[in-house]
Amino acid sequence: MDLNNPVLETERLYVCRMDEADQEWFYRLNSDPEVMRYTGEDCMTSLEQSLQVLRERPMRDYQKYGYGRWACVMKGSNDVIGWCGLKYLDDLEEVDVGYRFFKEFWGQGLGTEASRACVQYGLNELGLEKIIGLALEENIASTRVLEKSGLSYDGRMDYEGFDVVRYVIQSQ
Ligand SMILES: CC(C)(COP(=O)(O)OP(=O)(O)OC[C@H]1O[C@@H](n2cnc3c(N)ncnc32)[C@H](O)[C@@H]1OP(=O)(O)O)[C@@H](O)C(=O)NCCC(=O)NCCS
């Protein structure tokens, strides 16, 4: 990522586009079973897979839509804490906010800080009319982050074979 050219900043974070140089930490994050527990995805098993996913998901999304999941980096230390951001879901034709951080950064309000900023950026800067959030109901941290980002509960749905809760925010 290029810290000199962030997509947005929060009080404690730079939020930047990912690139191929993010392969190593992206692999470490996505191969931790505790991090992946409620994501519905399998743990990554190789650095090659990490590079492939970076190319096919966030990097492709930036090109196609102008936004995607972004790296979150602590100001001051420049520690990468994980990713947060917006993703256009082709199957639902809706934009979803999501986040995934290394465990050592959980519980400090960073998920809320990053998610709020991404939602506001989507509504105010990108002009999106609606942003949704999907989570397994038992993922309390994630559903709290959605609520604290201004999204409201909008029922349950089946997504990719999982029974998930759906949250939504509409532009004014
Ligand atoms: C989801 C995630 C990003 C939350 O990040 P975070 O920085 O820990 O979140 P915050 O510190 O902003 O906390 C948000 C709220 O969740 C609560 N919370 C956090 N972890 C919790 C836990 N394990 N159990 C219950 N509540 C929890 C916090 O208390 C806070 O609520 P409060 O303000 O009412 O006290 C982080 O847990 C994570 O990366 N999880 C693994 C990946 C994942 O599951 N992503 C979402 C998939 S849908």
Condensed to tens digits (0 to 9), the pLDDT of residues 62-118 reads 999 999 999 999 999 999 999 999 999 999 999 999 999 999 999 999 999 999 999
Say what percent of the chain tops pLDDT 70. Answer: 100
Q: Does 171 fall in a domain?
A: no
- Tokens encoding 87: 């993703």
Separation of 77 CA from ligand 1 center, angstroms? 22
Q: Does 45 fall in a domain?
A: yes
Based on the number of CB atoms within 10 Å of its own CB, is 56 exposed (0-12), middle (13-18) or buried (19 or more)?
Answer: exposed
Per the structure, the count of domains in the chain is: 1
Strands 13-16, 69-74: parallel, antiparallel or unpaired by DSSP? Answer: antiparallel
Q: What is the pLDDT of residues 19-33, one digit of tens each?
A: 999 999 999 999 999
Indicate if ligand 1 lies below 6 Å from the C-beta of 141.
Answer: yes
Q: What is the mean pLDDT of the chain?
A: 97
Q: Does 148 fall in a domain?
A: no
Separation of 144 CA from ligand 1 center, angstroms? 7
Q: Does 162 fall in a domain?
A: no
Task: Specify the ligand 1 atom closest to the Cα of 37.
Answer: 44
Half-sphere CA count of 63, side-chain side, radius 13 A: 8
Q: What is the dihedral of CA 99, 145, 40, 157, to 10 degrees?
A: -130
Angle between helices 47-56 and 58-65 (to 10 degrees): 10
Q: Give me the domain span that covers residue 111.
A: 8-128
- Tokens encoding 25: 């930490």
Separation of 99 CA from ligand 1 center, angstroms? 10
Q: What is the pLDDT of residue 172?
A: 79
Q: What backbone phi and psi angles, to 5 degrees, belong to 68?
A: 175, -160
Beta-bridged to residue 135, according to DSSP, are 165
Q: Does 141 fall in a domain?
A: no
Indicate if ligand 1 lies below 6 Å from the C-beta of 110.
Answer: yes
Indicate if ligand 1 lies below 6 Å from the C-beta of 100.
Answer: yes
Whether the pTM exceeds 0.85: the reply is: yes
Q: Does 165 fall in a domain?
A: no
Q: CA–CA distance from 136 to each of 6, 44, 66, 84 (Å)? A: 30, 20, 28, 17
User: Which strands make up the sheet holding 8-9, listed edge to edge?
Assistant: 8-9, 13-16, 69-74, 80-89, 94-101, 130-135, 162-170, 152-159
Q: Can you give the CATH number for the domain in which 95 is found?
A: 3.40.630.30
Rounded Cα gap, residues 110 and 159, in angstroms: 26
Task: Specify the ligand 1 atom closest to the Cα of 39.
Answer: 47
Task: Specify the ligand 1 atom closest to the Cα of 139.
Answer: 44
Tell me 22's DSSP state: G
